[in-house]
Each structure stands twice: as C-alpha cells, then as structure tokens.
Amino acid sequence: MRKFIGTVVIVIIIFFFAGCMLSMRGLMEQLHLEEPKIAENSILLLQLEGVILDGKDFLDDLDKYADEDEIKGILIQINSPGGVVGPSQEIYAEIKRVRDELKKPVVVSVSSLAASGAFYAAVAADKIVTNPGSLLGSIGVIMEFANLEKLYEWAKIKRYVIKTGAFKDSGSEYRDMRDDEKQVFQSMANEVLGQFKQAVASGRNIPLEQVSAIADGRVFTGERAISMHLADQIGTLNDAKKLIGQLAGVGEEPEIFTPPAKRGGYLAELLDQKTKIPGLEEPIRNLLHSRFWGQPLLLLPGALASMGDR
C-alpha cells in the first residue's frame, strides 16, 4: 500500500510540474503572437483532426474568421474517427450556420478518415471530396461501460452509494447493470442515432430510409461512399481547393488563409510527441478512455486506444 501511495504522489508531482512548464511555454508563445493578416478573396482552411473531445479550437477559429469579409469560403480537411456527441453536433450546426446565414460555401476534404462524429460534421458542408481509399461513415452510436466489481473485491474495497432514485447510479462501475438500466441506455443511444440519421439525410439530400439501411456502424471507402451519395467526388486536398475556389467565385487557385496553430489542452500536450513524459503515456490514454465510460459517443471503436499516436 505504501508503495502504491508513493507512486500516486510521484505521478501527481510530475503532472504538476509538467503542467507548470507547459503553461509557461504557452504564455511565452502568446506574448510573441501577432494576429495574421487576411488577403482579399481568401479561403479559410481549417483542420478537424483526431478524436473530437470538445471541438473548441475548431469552433473558435470558424467563429472568428468565417465572418471576415476577406473570407469567401471555407475548406475543412478532416482526419478524425469522431468523438463526443455534443461537440460533433455543435461543429455540424456551426458549419450549417456559415452556409445558411453567411452564405459562404463550405467544402470538406477527407484525408484518411471521416468517421462517426467527424462524418456527422462533414455532412453539413456543400461538398465532400475524398480519396478513393479514405474511410467514411460509421453512422452509429456506441456506449462503453466497465464492471469493476470483482476487481474491488480482490482489492478488498467495498463501494457504497446514497442515491435519490433507482437510476441515479446507473452505469456505475462497482456493480452489474440491471435490465431496465440497459433499456434506458439503449433508448438514449437510439435517440442520438435518430438525430445522426436525420442530419445525414438532410445534409446529403437522400431519403431517411436509405440512411437507415446503412446506419449500422459500417465504414465505407471513399469510392463506395460516392456511389451511395455520402460524398461527392474523388479528389485530393488540391482538388478540394479548386472546388471551393469555384464555388466561392475566386478562381481555381484561391488564396488560402490558415489560422495560427493553437496549443492543445493539458492532456493533449502530455500526449504530444515533443512533450511526452516517459512512463505516463499509457496511463493518460487509460484515463481518457475511462472518462467516456457511460457516455454516448459518435466514435469509431478503438480510436481512444490510439490517441497520442497521430
């Protein structure tokens, strides 16, 4: 037990000092950061990459620059397995706002992957350009739970709970789930799936029945996705640039504006290749994974396990 407590204390100290170092570095960089100038008739290029945890950086850039008069259209390059439901839906809604309210065209370029929540966001665009072997789709919802009851018994830990309703501790890791609780969570997942299917049907202008027939979590190659009207054309990022230039009326070789890079969050920094702390990478991944237990996710299975490798 003393060894375990000592290990926990060491990890906390490492996190504390690492956080201080990262915060100081971020502060120094912000002090030297100048706001970039936007050329006339520019296209805003945004990246939606990795697991969608909160979407804040993407949404901040979209909100900040899409309104600028110099920006005539938005190009979004996606390489993401999806993520948390709310942020994925918020990105979808903001892309629609740019199209509907600002009347500016939006084109998505799929790099290697636009699955689940990332595909949810992509269908809000005017056009989706994809490589023939890129993966798209994964229309579905997943919820993960863990039953650690036997582990607690082995560690001689007994958990107690005081609650105000039969479902207040539903999904808790210290006991098995009742059948009525499983029904509640299944109903929740089905509701989110319905929202997902409606967004795809509306965004891609295809019948809801056609979407329902493929809304079982499958991913499709870019070539297959086009034949199913889930994407518009085969092409690279350069092809997508030409397309957004045409739609925005600024020519096939538009000026591209890329927002200055932002530093990731605390955990994202610790998982970054340049700032990894030896021995903590795997525990951080496990911490992120357990954070989403019991939440409905628009996520390709296994994506959290590979976080930090991108």
32-55 confidence digits (pLDDT tens) = 456 788 999 999 999 999 999 888
pLDDT at 36: 80
pLDDT at 24: 53
DSSP state of 260: P
pLDDT at 133: 96
Nearest residue to 287 via CA among 11, 4, 1: 11
- Percent above pLDDT 70 for the chain: 75
Give the model's confidence band at 65: pLDDT under 50 very low, under 70 low, under 90 confident, else very high. Answer: very high
pLDDT at 146: 85
pLDDT at 10: 53
pLDDT at 310: 36
pLDDT at 151: 87
Mean pLDDT of 288-301: 68
169-206 confidence digits (pLDDT tens) = 888 888 898 999 999 999 999 999 999 999 999 999 99
Give the model's confidence band at 212: pLDDT under 50 very low, under 70 low, under 90 confident, else very high. Answer: very high
Q: Please say if the pLDDT value at position 163 is more than 60.
A: yes
Q: Please say if the pLDDT value at position 286 is more than 50.
A: yes
Q: Please say if the pLDDT value at position 68 is more than 70.
A: yes
Residue 206 backbone phi and psi in degrees, to 5: -130, 155
Which two tokens mark 145?
A: 């739970």
Mean pLDDT of 57-64: 95
- Residue 284 carries which side chain, given as an amino acid letter? I
**Both ends of the chain: CA-CA distance in Å?**
36
pLDDT at 41: 92
pLDDT at 18: 53
pLDDT at 226: 97
Q: Please say if the pLDDT value at position 207 is more than 90.
A: yes
pLDDT at 164: 93
Q: Are 284 and 265 in contact (CB under 8 A)?
A: no
CB count in 10 Å sphere of residue 205: 9
Give the model's confidence band at 285: pLDDT under 50 very low, under 70 low, under 90 confident, else very high. Answer: low
243-281 confidence digits (pLDDT tens) = 999 999 999 999 999 998 875 555 555 444 444 445 555
Mean pLDDT of 120-135: 97
* CB burial of residue 41 (10 Å; 0-12, 13-18, 19+): middle
pLDDT at 31: 44
Give the model's confidence band at 229: pLDDT under 50 very low, under 70 low, under 90 confident, else very high. Answer: very high
For the entire predicted model, the pTM comes to 0.80
How would DSSP label each residue in 141-198?
A: -B------HHHHHHTT-------SSTTTTTT-TTSPPPHHHHHHHHHHHHHHHHHHHH
Q: Which residues are part of the catalytic machinery? A: 116, 168
Give the model's confidence band at 292: pLDDT under 50 very low, under 70 low, under 90 confident, else very high. Answer: low
Cα–Cα separations (whole angstroms), residue 279 to 18, 165, 260, 309, 310: 13, 41, 31, 15, 18
Token pair 């490589």: residue: 131
Q: Tell which wins on pLDDT, 218 or 17.
A: 218
